[in-house]
């Protein structure tokens, strides 16, 4: 057998959804068999879901995972399938992949390198497997080999790198190549981050070249567990050349990518490599041999276009991943739609527009019938989808302007949302009067600035929450990453919501994206929205002080691009105040160093004071690996010295 058909399937799974996860995996297997695929790779932990968190430590979860694996294997006749599953062995849990051939579980490989940086916490739940170690585990009463295995299935030698295994310097693939594998399967749960796909493509391509084999990479798809979104992006390469790549950002339950691999060609590459040193004298226990040969249903046409491998436009990636994340959150939370408190500014406008784009892209990908089916918990009527799934409310006080009111109305109408206007000024004044009577004095802007600003934002929350409850919907918080860094947000006011989708996005990029959506978009399915000019011409403002003060965000804080640059140095790169100031002075030679010093000092002070706010933000989407979410990436103490000594040193310079 010289030519084989390999496949990789991206799956949209849900943690602990045993029947649903298995059903979607079986559907991918069925399509693979119909397409003539003989060797199929499914994603990491596909049967349990990757995002089970501490439930991986529950013994019963391990039992259910094995039960699901046995049931799944029975659906895999006449094909070789690799599927990820959590495995209990010797009172420890392993991130494992089971190989199934013709309906039988023939062996299990455990992950050797666990992901424990950034937003990953695998070492909390799993143990790493030791290189070269082989044991056996009982599955459905039968002993199955477990460990650092190579499989010889009908003369095709197959090995594994499981996600993080391929991202480390000492890749298992190096040893697999010495063991003469024809194929390396990489079942992954690799979350989306800007520009990340091109990195994946590189290690797949380089792995196929350096190891002189076929390399099949499968990934998860969609918003699996709430915060992390997977873009799919399956890749197949052979001998240093791309063969096929699956479509990313799909709204379907699975995406299958398949390609033919010429084994004689890969073996020729191995023979030609002067550096290739076969691993001789290896124990027979490290290889599982089977006579099974999958059926050939040719002729076969490669599925999945080969990408041009240029880095995708960040604005387009953002649009597609946010749309997919919102759609999955909507259907998996069984919400009736979304509600946005539309202020007439950039953040709330961007949030509302993303919901509109979610609808457009999902309809374009799924078609109306499948769109309705996937949102089957929602009772649709004859209104347009944006009006049914998105309600926007503009809530005015005496400090609100006609500019923002008109902008909010313009945006809401442009995207087809349900739109209302409420005057909440009497509520603000009611609270003011109650407090003034309680403390025995009048409140003034000179003495009570923050209190008078915040009550306006907080008063807007109860009504919009009430509307959200009436619509059985999900309230979207509109706070962005730049505001989160310095606490420029009112808790229980503009931070109110069950989901904070843009909390990982800095304000400078958000404004850049809004301009892109206004003027360009991306054909054929992301149409520009020219009405957004009413947002983009404004200077961002909270509109909480009297209008004659002409309040803007950047006069309250600092220019947003500068704030974001300081945040990257201080939080991403962990630089202390003096070095941050020096770096900023280097990058801003035309600015007064004393002014820059003031901005750096303000940032560190506000960052330290507002960790408690970041702890209370609603869940947000991770679209940038270096984010501020204390629950998954950026840990910082709620109480600290506030960099007192470091800022004193900066001040003395």
| Backbone conformation region of residue 603, classed left if phi is above 0, alpha if psi is from -120 to 50, else beta | alpha
Residue 309: the pLDDT is: 47
Residue 566 has pLDDT above 50, yes or no: yes
List the structure tokens of 82.
Answer: 């690799």
Mean pLDDT of all residues in 396-401: 94
Looking at the structure, do residues 380 and 505 belong to the same domain, yes or no? yes
Q: For the purposes of burial, counting CB atoms within 10 Å of the CB of 161, is it exposed (0-12), middle (13-18) or buried (19 or more)? A: buried
Task: Please give the tally of structural domains in the chain.
Answer: 3
Residue 429 has pLDDT above 80, yes or no: yes
Residue 522: the pLDDT is: 94
In this structure, is residue 322 part of a structural domain? yes
Residue 440: the pLDDT is: 97
DSSP state of 224: S
Looking at the structure, do residues 335 and 421 belong to the same domain, yes or no? yes
pLDDT bracket for residue 351 (50, 70, 90): very high
Q: How far apart are CA 207 and CA 181, in angstroms?
A: 12
Looking at the structure, do residues 395 and 540 belong to the same domain, yes or no? yes
Residue 447 has pLDDT above 70, yes or no: yes
Residue 626: the pLDDT is: 82
Mean pLDDT of all residues in 594-622: 97
Looking at the structure, do residues 511 and 440 belong to the same domain, yes or no? yes
Q: Output the DSSP codes for 481-523.
A: HHHHHHT-S-TTTTT-SSB-TTTTS-HHHHHHHHHHHHHT-BT
512: domain CATH number?
3.40.50.620
**Cα atoms in the 13 Å half-sphere on the side-chain side of 380:** 16
Going by C-alpha positions, the residue among 335, 333, 386, 391 that lies closest to residue 362 is 386
pTM of the model: 0.95
pLDDT bracket for residue 297 (50, 70, 90): low
Number of H helices, E strands in the chain: 21, 21
Looking at the structure, do residues 507 and 643 belong to the same domain, yes or no? no
Q: Which residue is listed with tokens 């798809």?
A: 221
**How far is residue 444 CA from its own chain's centroid?**
45
pLDDT tens digit sequence for 126-137: 999 999 999 999
14: domain CATH number?
3.60.110.10
Residue that is last in its domain, among 236, 256, 290: 290
Looking at the structure, do residues 150 and 9 belong to the same domain, yes or no? yes
pLDDT tens digit sequence for 402-412: 999 999 999 99
In this structure, is residue 584 part of a structural domain? yes
pLDDT tens digit sequence for 11-40: 999 999 999 999 999 999 999 999 999 999
CB contact set of 447 (below 8 Å; sequence gap of 6+): none
pLDDT tens digit sequence for 533-551: 999 999 888 888 888 888 8
> Which H or E run contains 433?
helix 425-439
Q: How far apart are CA 161 and CA 146, in angstroms?
A: 15
Judge contact between 190 and 212, C-beta under 8 A: no
In this structure, is residue 20 part of a structural domain? yes
Looking at the structure, do residues 15 and 157 belong to the same domain, yes or no? yes
Total residue count of the chain as it appears in this document: 653
Query: Which range marks the domain in which residue 398 is found?
Result: 314-553
Q: How far apart are CA 165 and CA 84, in angstroms?
A: 14
Q: Which residues of 474-487 are buried (b: 16+ CB within 10 A; e: fewer)?
A: bbbbbbbbbbbbbb
Residue 278 has pLDDT above 80, yes or no: no
Looking at the structure, do residues 63 and 91 belong to the same domain, yes or no? yes
645: domain CATH number?
1.10.10.1510
Q: What is the 3-state secondary structure of 127-186?
A: CCCCCCCEEEEEECCEEEEEECCEEEECCEEEEECCHHHHCCCCCHHHHHHHCCCCEEEE
Residue 222 has pLDDT above 50, yes or no: yes
Residue that is last in its domain, among 290, 322, 348: 290
Task: Find the helix packing angle between 593-609 and 560-567, rounded to 10°.
Answer: 70
């Amino acid at each position: 057998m010289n030519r084989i058909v390999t496949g990789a399937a991206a799956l949209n799974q849900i943690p602990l959804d045993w029947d649903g996860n298995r059903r979607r995996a079986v559907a991918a297997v069925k399509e693979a068999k119909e397409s003539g695929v003989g060797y199929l790779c499914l994603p990491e932990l596909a049967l349990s879901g990757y995002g089970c968190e501490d439930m991986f430590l529950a013994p019963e979860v391990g039992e259910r995972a094995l039960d699901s694996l046995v049931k799944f294997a029975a659906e895999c006749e006449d094909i070789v399938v690799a599927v990820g599953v959590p495995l209990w062995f010797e009172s420890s849990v392993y991130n494992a992949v089971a190989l199934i051939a013709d309906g039988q579980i023939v062996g299990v490989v455990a992950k050797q390198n666990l992901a424990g940086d950034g937003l990953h916490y695998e070492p909390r739940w799993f143990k790493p497997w030791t290189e070269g170690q082989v044991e056996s585990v009982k599955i459905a009463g039968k002993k199955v080999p477990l460990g650092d295995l190579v499989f010889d299935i009908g003369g095709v030698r197959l090995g594994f790198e499981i996600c993080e295994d391929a991202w480390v310097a000492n890749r298992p693939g190096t040893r697999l190549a010495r063991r003469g594998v024809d194929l390396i399967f990489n079942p992954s749960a690799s979350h989306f981050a800007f520009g990340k796909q091109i990195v994946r493509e590189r290690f797949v391509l380089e792995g196929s070249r350096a190891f002189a084999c076929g390399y099949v990479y499968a990934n998860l798809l969609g918003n699996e567990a709430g915060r992390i979104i997977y873009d799919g992006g399956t890749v197949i390469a052979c001998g240093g050349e791309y063969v096929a790549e699956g479509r990313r950002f799909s709204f379907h339950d699975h995406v299958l990518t398949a390609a033919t691999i010429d084994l004689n060609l890969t073996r020729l590459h191995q023979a030609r490599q002067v550096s290739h040193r076969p691993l001789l004298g290896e124990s027979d226990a490290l290889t599982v041999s089977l006579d099974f040969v999958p059926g050939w249903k040719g002729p076969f046409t490669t599925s999945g276009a080969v990408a041009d491998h240029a880095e995708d436009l960040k604005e387009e990636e953002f649009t597609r991943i946010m749309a997919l994340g919102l759609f999955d959150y909507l259907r998996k939370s069984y919400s009736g739609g979304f509600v946005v408190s539309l202020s007439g500014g950039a953040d709330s406008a961007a949030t509302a527009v993303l919901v509109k784009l979610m609808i457009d892209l999902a309809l374009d990908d799924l078609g109306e019938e499948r769109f309705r089916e996937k949102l089957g918990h929602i009772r649709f009527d004859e209104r347009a989808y944006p009006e049914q799934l998105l309600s926007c409310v503009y809530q005015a006080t005496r400090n609100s302007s006609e500019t923002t009111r008109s902008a909010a109305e313009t945006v809401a109408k442009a995207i087809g949302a349900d739109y209302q206007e409420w005057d909440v000024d009497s509520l603000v004044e009611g609270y003011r009067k109650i407090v003034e009577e309680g403390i025995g004095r009048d409140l003034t802007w000179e003495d009570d600035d923050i209190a008078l600003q915040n009550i306006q934002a907080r008063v807007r929350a109860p009504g919009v929450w009430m509307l959200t409850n009436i619509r059985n919907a999900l309230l979207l918080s509109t706070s962005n990453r730049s505001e989160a860094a310095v606490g420029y947000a009112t808790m229980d006011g503009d931070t109110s919501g069950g989901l904070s989708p843009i909390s990982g996005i800095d304000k400078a990029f958000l404004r850049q994206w809004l301009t892109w959506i206004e003027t360009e978009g991306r054909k054929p399915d992301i149409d520009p929205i020219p009405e957004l000019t009413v947002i983009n011409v404004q200077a961002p403002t909270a509109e909480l002080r009297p209008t004659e003060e002409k309040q803007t965000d950047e006069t309250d804080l600092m220019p947003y691009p500068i704030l974001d640059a300081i945040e990257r140095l201080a939080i991403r790169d962990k630089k202390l105040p003096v070095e941050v100031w020096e770096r900023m002075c280097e990058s801003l030679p035309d600015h007064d160093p004393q002014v820059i010093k003031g901005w750096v000092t303000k940032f560190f002070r506000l960052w330290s004071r507002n960790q408690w706010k970041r702890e209370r933000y609603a869940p947000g989407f991770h679209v940038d690996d270096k984010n501020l979410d204390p629950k998954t990436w950026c840990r910082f103490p709620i109480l600290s010295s506030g960099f007192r000594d470091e800022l004193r040193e900066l001040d003395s310079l």
